[in-house]
Chain A
Amino acid sequence: MSGGMSDFDVIVVGAGPAGSSAAIKLASSGSNVLLVERADPPGSKAVSGGILWGKELEKVVPDWEKVTPLERFIEYKSTAFLTEESKVSVDFRTKKFEKSKTGYSVLRAKLDQFLAQKAKAAGATLVTGITVDSLSMKDGIVNGVVQDGETVTANTVILAEGTNPRVAIEAGLRKPLSDLDSAIGIKEVVKLSENTINERFNLKGNAGYAGEFVLGFLEGGVRAGGFMYTNKDSLSVGVVISLPHLRENGKTYAYDIMEKFMQHPYVSPLVEGGQVQEYSAHLVSEGGVNSMPDLYGDGYMIAGDSAGFTFSNGMVIQGMNYAIASGVLAAETAIEAIKKKEFTRGALSSYQSKLERSQVLMDLRKFRGIDRLVWSRLVHETAPEMLENILFGIFYEDGSPKKHLANTILQGISGSNMKKSELIMETYRMLRRM
């Protein structure tokens, strides 16, 4: 056994995109790795929107586009503001995405099972249906995991537990979750035939649609975003709800927001006749670098959602690509550590520098604080109403003489709920952040 006195070189806790990617990388390099997952089968407790952006998977599954259970490639991207009676959207679709894919819709029960089996095929010991209770520590160094009172040891533990990382929190490696670093995600999978989806979204073949929505129709200061993605023969429809605003409101039920979104006049026709196959909920990491824990320490590293590697700017929500990227980097760091036979904080510190040089932390640092904008009054209250007013003013024909376009716009702005000076400042701040 290459791990000396330990049972394994590396134990990976959690077989999601981060954990399985790490395990595939480690096992392919000949390391003795245990991948342990509480769900059985893997993926049966996972929820994501879910679009897998980018090409990170290539690093662990070279022919990934051929073999991975992917639903549709994203050809049609849309961002929309919804008010009670209107929808203002920016649609972008391009044939360029057909040649060079930017993202695929996925369903996690299939994806995670696929990746975990890849790890097993690469030589990892895959154990499913077992919940790790805690970390084993010796002289302040993580040296394994504890389950049912028994310790299984390893030189390094990679924590890839997802967005509600109980083991990391229990061990004090991550602060307990708070309103500021998590939002509530609720989702429904709605069954529709492939043809119906293609007709409704004007799609052909395996092309897919990914829409993000600002739910500007919610009352009482409640703020939420919505999403709708096309799978092969179903839609993934959901909402992401800001916890601080829901708390402040204090009388709106999270599950009612989901239903309200489904019943919006410009959402319901898209899901009409569909059969709800599944209802699910999951926390969405929101904090970015501001609530990021120490990413490594003596004998451990944290990857994926557990580390808060999620990005959202209102137009896209990304997480799985960062999960895979960070899992791979944690594995690479562990492989170096195994070669040097050193697993201290110092030896694992290259994980952080690798992340800093990668898209993961560059994106997160560049867009630091963007969550404040994403959940701002400007985006959720002012913009939807203002855009509705302006466009209604432009397009509504009542027979009276037309106003100058500039006047219509100014009227739309002054009719909104924010002062002009405030609006200019907020817009300026928004543009700077982006």
Chain B
Amino acid sequence: MSLEIVVMVKQVPDSQEVVIDPVTMNLNRSLTRNVTNRADENALEAALQLRDKVGGRVTIVSMGPPQTESTMIECMARGADRAILVSDRFFGGADTYPTGLTVASAISKLEKFDVIFAGEESSDSSTGHVGPGVAEFLGIEQATYVSKVDYEDGLIIAERELEDGTEVVKVPTPVLITVLLNANIPRRQTLRRKIDAIRRGIEVWNLEKLGMPPEWVGVRGSPTIVRKMRSIKEKERAAKKIELDQIPELVKELYEKGILKLEESQ
């Protein structure tokens, strides 16, 4: 058995370095360096584990400016086999809709794809749209917020972490899976693989290669219009230190203020 596995990755500003300018409300990126979106590292690790178990090949697909190359090389240094960067000035300013469409279009150009992995969301926009969007555009199954993946008898078995528990789903391929942040511990890059990756280089696909109309991509293909941005002033929280034996009074107070409610048990 051999699986063709795709991992969608994104290069993002290092969230620990992002500063919002208090006057303009814009992100001050002058001191911010780019890194690989962390959940995507978990997606890559899930993909590599699946490949190592079942056999096959892992291809990285990313849409972004040319400097995304460093992220692609990093992914190959962790063990990915091939890297395709979808990059063209036409793709600039895309919101999640044309991004999903563009990435789906790139993936559909691959000879074959069985499992597509993506991080649950990116740390810079946190929409979680693009992964599921790609599945929709490709018309394939999807399993989101997955912590564990296995493969048996031609079916992907995915454990989904939901608010009220864990759901195990069995889905046929092709399927798209979004992987939770910290679902696993990503393996390290190795020197040997990184040298090989630099020598092999990455493939860059432009708009022409994808054969998409320019009005479908980038800022022109984006339905989102940002009218206004504002930063949120955090409300001062009422804090109160109490002794253990005052808990009954606290509960009473919270009940009276309507913060705690009594629910009839069935």
In the complex, what residues of A have CB within 8 A of residue B195's CB?
Answer: 7, 34, 125, 127, 152
A147 B198 Cβ-Cβ under 8 A: no
Instruction: Give the complex CA separation of A282 and B192 in angstroms.
Output: 30
Asked if B190 CB lies within 8 Å of chain A CBs, one says yes
Quick one: closest B residue to A8, CB to CB?
B195
Query: Are B190 and A129 closer than 8 Å at their CB atoms?
Result: no
Binding site for A on B (CB under 8 A): 33, 74, 77, 188-192, 194-195, 198-199
If A129-B74, A147-B190, A148-B190 are given as contacts, then 19 extra A-B residue pairs at C-beta distance below 8 Å, sorted by A number, are A34-B195, A125-B195, A125-B198, A126-B198, A127-B191, A127-B194, A127-B195, A127-B198, A129-B189, A129-B194, A130-B77, A145-B191, A147-B191, A148-B188, A148-B191, A150-B190, A150-B191, A150-B192, A152-B191
A244: Cβ under 8 A from any B Cβ: no
Q: B198, A130: Cβ atoms under 8 Å?
A: no
Answer whether residue A36 sits at the interface, using C-beta atoms and an 8 A cutoff.
yes
A317 interface residue per 8 A CB criterion: no
B199 cross-chain contacts in A, Cβ below 8 A = 125
Residue of B nearest to A44 (CB): B33
Q: Which residues of A contact B188 (CB under 8 A)?
A: 148
List chain A residues, Cβ under 8 A from B190: 130, 147-148, 150
A132 touching B198, Cβ below 8 Å: no
**Shortest distance in angstroms between A190's beta carbon and chain B's nearest beta carbon?**
15
The interface residues of chain B lying within 8 Å CB-to-CB of A34 are: 195
Q: A7-B195, A125-B195, A152-B195 are in contact. Are A130 and B33 (CB under 8 A)?
A: no
A41 to B194, CA, bound (A): 15
Contacts of A7 in B (CB 8 A): 195
> Judging by beta carbons under 8 Å apart, are B74 and A147 in contact?
no
Report A-chain residues with C-beta under 8 Å of the C-beta of B194: 127, 129-130
Q: Who on chain B is nearest to A277 by CB?
A: B31
> Cβ of A132 and Cβ of B33 under 8 Å apart?
no
A161 to B189, CA, bound (A): 20
Which residues of A lie under 8 Å from residue B198 when comparing CB positions? 125-127
Contact present for B33 and A41 (CB under 8 Å): yes
11 pairs from A and B in contact (CB 8 Å cutoff): A44-B33, A127-B195, A127-B198, A129-B74, A130-B77, A132-B191, A145-B191, A147-B191, A147-B192, A148-B192, A150-B190
List the 9 shortest-distance A-B pairs measured between CB atoms, nearest first: A147-B191, A150-B192, A148-B190, A130-B191, A127-B194, A152-B191, A125-B198, A130-B194, A130-B189
Interface size class of A (residues with CB under 8 A): 10 to 19
CA distance A147 to B198 in the complex (A): 17
- B-chain residues with CB within 8 Å of residue A129 when the two chains form the complex: 74, 189, 194
A residues near B191, Cβ cutoff 8 Å: 36, 127, 130, 132, 145, 147-148, 150, 152
Tell me, rounded to whole Å, the shortest Cβ–Cβ distance linking B3 to chain A: 25
Residues of A111-160 contacting chain B, CB below 8 A: 125-127, 129-130, 132, 145, 147-148, 150, 152
Complex Cα gap A5–B3 (Å): 36
Q: How far is the CB of A274 from chain B (nearest CB, A)?
A: 16
CA distance A41 to B74 in the complex (A): 12
Complex: how many Å from CA A332 to CA B33?
34
Q: Which residues of A contact B33 (CB under 8 A)?
A: 41, 44
A126 partner residues in chain B, CB cutoff 8 A: 198
Please, which residue of chain A has its CB at the minimum distance from the CB of B192? Answer: A150
User: Contacts of B74 on A, CB cut-off 8 Å?
Assistant: 129
Q: With the chains together, A47 CA to B81 CA distance in Å?
A: 36
Q: Measured between alpha carbons, how far is A123 from B33 in the docked complex, in Å?
A: 24
Q: Which residues of B contact A130 (CB under 8 A)?
A: 77, 189-191, 194
Of the candidates B33, B191, B192, the one having the most CB atoms from chain A within 10 angstroms of its own CB is B191
Rounded to whole angstroms, the CA-CA distance of A41 and B14 in the bound complex is 12
In the complex, what distance in Å separates the CA atom of A150 from the CA atom of B198? 17
Q: In the docked arrangement, what's the CA distance between A7 and B192, Å?
A: 10
Distance between Cα atoms of A132 and B77 in the complex (Å): 15
Q: Chain B residue with minimal CB distance to A145?
A: B191
Complex Cα gap A372–B189 (Å) = 44
Give the chain B neighbours of A125 by CB distance below 8 A: 195, 198-199
Interface mask (A21-57 → B, CB under 8 Å = 1, otherwise 0): 0000000000000101000010010000000000000
Hey, which chain B residues are within 8 Å of A145, CB to CB?
191
Closest to B190 in A: A148
Determine the distance from Cα of A148 to Cα of B198 in the docked complex, in whole angstroms: 18
Residue of B nearest to A34 (CB): B195
In the assembled complex, the Cα of A150 lies from the Cα of B191 at a distance in Å of: 8
In whole angstroms, what is the CA distance A36 to B74 when docked? 14
